[in-house]
């Protein structure tokens, strides 16, 4: 049984950041990466106990290079997410039994979300999918659902966990809070040992109870609005095919989720699906 894990960094216990006057900056990077490694390994240990044969970890913060594969649990396969034309599913496909998000953070604008942002703290003010606010957590859940894969666990700060639970709308989801945000740059962190123990136990239990988790239903149309910090950023997106909504906002739309998501990441409309055709329905 293969499990896909997408990692981020801001939601890991002990990771500290400050403002650089525009966005976020991690200030204790060596410690932060060690803390990330500890949480990844604890998660993998629990997943293996729960029956996983392979834990596919996508190193998702800042383009990757945050995890030393030699320091990881032997059940882990590490995915490098770089590459201009590479698949943006980061190892997710229908062969995965479940998806997990680790080190997650709240979307931009959440007052108690520690280091809150949506993809780029130096560029994006807000995002909305089909008129509803969305951040990286919701996008990640839909990425898994595209392949019929349920997201079973999200770990991050309390605001991230709250956001994840709200997004799935009462469907089963396990969350593990690593810290409580007091403001964007202030948090009360749980001790890493306590977090890792809970992560391992939660992962094992979630996998043993896998049949109760469900993939999110997918809409038939996708309209993704992205509000940038200034009109120059929106100009760049309009140039590659986005619809201009207002001075700072552009719109990507279509009937295929990954095509729309790829447009947001810089692909021309339709280009991603030509390179990576939509998988047949199971």
Can you give the chain as a three-state secondary structure string? CEEEEEECCCCCCCCCEEECCCCEEECCHHHHHHHHHHHHHHHHHHHHHCCCCEEEEEECCCCCCCCCHHHCCCCEEEECCCCCCCCCCCCCCCCEEEEEEEEECCCCCCCCCCCCCCCCCCCEEEEEECCEECCHHHHHHHHHHHCCCCEEEEEECHHHHHHHHHHHCCCCCEEEECEEEEECCEEEECCHHHHHHHHHHHHHHHHHCHHHCCCCCCCCCEEEEEEECCHHHHHHHHHCCCEECCCCEEEEEECCHHHHHHHHCCCCCCHHHHHCCCCCCC
Domain boundaries, the chain: 2-119+135-212, 222-275
Residue 82 CB burial class (10 angstroms; 0-12, 13-18, ≥19): exposed
The answer to whether residues 202 and 176 touch, using CB atoms and an 8 Å cutoff, is yes
The C-alpha atoms of residue 184 and residue 86 are separated, in whole angstroms, by 33
| 37-41, 79-83, 260-264: least confident range | 79-83
pTM: 0.96
Here the tokens at position 172 are 């089963």
Phi-psi region of 144 (alpha: psi -120 to 50; beta: other; left: phi over 0): alpha
Residue 175 pLDDT class (50, 70, 90 cuts) = very high
Here the tokens at position 259 are 């095509």
| 53-67, 74-88, 246-260, 261-275: least confident range | 74-88
Q: What is the pLDDT of residues 94-107, one digit of tens each?
A: 999 999 999 999 99
| 4-13, 55-64, 249-258: least confident range | 55-64
Mean pLDDT calculated for residue range 116-129: 97
Here the tokens at position 16 are 């500290």
Q: Report the share of the chain in percent with pLDDT over 70.
A: 99
**Is the per-residue pLDDT at 280 higher than 70?**
no
Residues 6+ apart with CB under 8 A from 6: 58, 60, 90, 99, 100, 101, 102, 140
Q: For residue 282, what pLDDT is reported?
A: 47
Q: For residue 240, what pLDDT is reported?
A: 86
Q: How many CB atoms are located within 10 Å of the residue 41 CB?
A: 20
Q: Which CATH superfamily is domain 2-119+135-212 in?
A: Dipeptide transport protein (3.40.50.10780)
CA distances from 44 to 62, 73, 118 (A): 22, 7, 26
Here the tokens at position 45 are 């240990």
Residue 60 pLDDT class (50, 70, 90 cuts) = confident
Q: Give CA 17 to chain center in angstroms.
A: 19
Q: Report the share of the chain in percent with pLDDT over 90.
A: 89
Q: For residue 85, what pLDDT is reported?
A: 82
Mean pLDDT calculated for residue range 31-57: 98
């Amino acid at each position: 049984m293969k499990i896909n894990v997408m990692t981020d960094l801001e939601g890991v216990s002990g990771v500290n950041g400050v403002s650089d006057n525009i966005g976020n900056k991690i200030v204790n990077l060596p410690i932060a990466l060690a803390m990330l490694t500890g949480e990844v390994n604890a998660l993998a240990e629990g997943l293996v106990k729960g029956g996983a044969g392979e834990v596919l970890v996508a190193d998702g913060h800042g383009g990757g290079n945050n995890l030393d594969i030699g320091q990881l649990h032997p059940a882990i396969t590490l995915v490098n997410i770089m590459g201009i034309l590479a698949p943006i599913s980061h190892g997710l496909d229908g062969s995965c039994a479940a998806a997990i998000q680790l080190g997650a953070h709240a979307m931009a604008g959440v007052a108690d979300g520690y280091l809150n942002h949506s993809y780029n703290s130096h560029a994006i003010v807000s995002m909305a999918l089909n008129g509803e606010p969305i951040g990286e957590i919701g996008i990640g859940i839909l990425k898994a659902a595209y392949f019929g894969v349920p997201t079973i666990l999200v770990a991050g700060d309390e605001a991230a966990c709250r956001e994840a639970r709200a997004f799935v709308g009462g469907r089963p989801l396990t969350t593990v809070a690593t810290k409580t945000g007091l403001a964007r740059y202030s948090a009360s962190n749980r001790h890493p040992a306590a977090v890792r123990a809970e992560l391992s136990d939660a992962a094992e239990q979630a996998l043993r109870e896998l049949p109760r988790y469900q993939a999110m239903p997918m809409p038939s149309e996708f309209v993704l609005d992205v509000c940038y910090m200034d009109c120059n950023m929106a100009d760049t997106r309009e140039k590659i095919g986005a619809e201009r909504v207002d001075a700072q906002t552009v719109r990507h739309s279509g009937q295929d989720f990954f095509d729309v998501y790829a447009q947001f990441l810089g692909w021309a409309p339709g280009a991603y699906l030509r390179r990576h055709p939509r998988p047949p329905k199971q």
